[in-house]
Chain A
Amino acid sequence: MLHTEILSLVRPAPDTLEEFEKLVKTYEKSFYHFAYRLTGNHDDAQDLTQEGLLKAYRAFHRFKTGTAFDRWVYQIIYRLFIDQYRKKRRRPFVASLDESPPHLDQEKTKEVPDFSKLPEDFALRQELGETIQKALLRLPEEFRAAVILCDVQGFSYEEISNILQCSLGTVRSRIHRGRRQLREYLQPYLSVERRKN
């Protein structure tokens, strides 16, 4: 794991804030990316990240020496997300199915060298990015978090089990079932891809 490093931190001291700030700046983008993939829009992702950081700072004195800071904050963000998701589920959001969500307008896949230069390929890839995010949002929140941590953030199963506070078997099952559901949602795109190959 490249971005996971074991850090030895002292108990709250006068320089706690500087220490915390330094750590947060190191992992800022990863935290935001995780929150964005979980929530699916920028506003909720910003709220979730800021709330997670605030909670992390308040509990910074309980941060265990010798554990990874990023995994600890991921855990806080995930728990916050689950709490918020449960609250939101009691008050369902009503939206039009005809128009695409505004947060997906900026969505696009990473640019990779493409020698075909076909406009339809480019459009297909851009559309695929939006479709993947939509498909992710259709997954149950436990599956979604496990799949994101594994495939987007690149954590190992053991690290994911630490973050989600569940057993290795549960992580394995959630990732597999999540991917299987994604395969169903993305079947048309996968078929096109297979035909090209």
Chain B
Amino acid sequence: MNCHRVQSLLSAYLDQELSPEEWRLIRTHIYHCPACAKNYEDLSSIKNHLGNLEPPTPQVDLVGQFLFHHFHGDSSFPTNSLVWGKRLAFSAACVFLFLLTAFYLFPVEQGYPMVASQEASPFSINPSTSYQLVSEHTGNANLFLEEDEDKEGKMEEWEYYFLPDAERPLSGFPVSR
């Protein structure tokens, strides 16, 4: 057995964790090899020092405190399901607050839903739409596009005559149905 092999087994030899055959071989080698003997002495010294370290004394009554807090004082310590339930409730509250804030900061306009969602295109004018009827009567398309604040919400007499209630245009914007 060479020195390299012996040194790798020195700790196991020291702890008596080798087979009787290996133990005998290493003991013979150490007896004849000063370098391995020195290593063995060092490892043995370290083992002795570690074994002689005084156990530290806990600064508090460890078990008493643990038992009091976790069992006697508070017998229903939180389980996993309870912890996750709390987290879930907190997340739900956060989402609710976010939605509430978003609703108040950006309220939904109820007045003109179709005006905002549709674009006017001069190429998509249908002769039967209200746009055509209005522009034919006035003879000036630009007038239709300009919003008259005074007349907002009011209808001309001819509009009542020509248009059914459902077809009345919104002021200032063409509406395609």
Is B47's CB under 8 angstroms from A151's CB? yes
Q: Number of contacting residues on A, CB 8 A?
A: 47
B54 contacts the other chain (Cβ, under 8 Å)? yes
Is A42's CB under 8 angstroms from B59's CB? yes
- Shortest CB distance B11–A (Å): 4
Nearest B-chain residue to A25, judged by Cβ: B63
The stretch of B37-45, B102-110, B118-126, B128-136 in contact with A is: B37-45
Q: Which of A17, A32, A53, A112 contacts B52 (CB 8 A)?
A: A112
Question: What residues of B have a CB within 8 angstroms of the CB of A42 in the complex?
Answer: 56, 58-59
The stretch of B66-74, B152-160, B161-169 in contact with A is: B66-74
Given contacts A46-B62, A183-B46, contact A172 B17 (CB under 8 A): yes
Question: What residues of A have a CB within 8 angstroms of the CB of B34 in the complex?
Answer: none
B10 contacts the other chain (Cβ, under 8 Å)? yes
Q: Number of contacting residues on B, CB 8 A?
A: 32
- Shortest CB distance A159–B (Å): 11
- Shortest CB distance B52–A (Å): 5
Question: What residues of B have a CB within 8 angstroms of the CB of A45 in the complex?
Answer: 56, 58
Is A32's CB under 8 angstroms from B58's CB? yes
Question: What residues of A have a CB within 8 angstroms of the CB of B77 in the complex?
Answer: 54
The CA of A107 and the CA of B52, in the complex, are separated in Å by: 12
- Shortest CB distance B13–A (Å): 10
Interface members, chain B 61-112 (any A CB < 8 Å): 62-63, 65-67, 70-71, 77
Interface members, chain A 78-137 (any B CB < 8 Å): 106-110, 112, 128-129, 132-133
The CA of A148 and the CA of B46, in the complex, are separated in Å by: 12
A57 contacts the other chain (Cβ, under 8 Å)? yes
Is B53's CB under 8 angstroms from A129's CB? yes
A29 contacts the other chain (Cβ, under 8 Å)? yes
B127 contacts the other chain (Cβ, under 8 Å)? no
A179 contacts the other chain (Cβ, under 8 Å)? yes
Is B49's CB under 8 angstroms from A179's CB? no
The CA of A46 and the CA of B8, in the complex, are separated in Å by: 36
B33 contacts the other chain (Cβ, under 8 Å)? no
Mind listing 10 A-B residue pairs with CB under 8 Å?
A32-B55, A57-B71, A109-B54, A112-B52, A151-B50, A152-B51, A157-B12, A172-B12, A190-B45, A190-B46
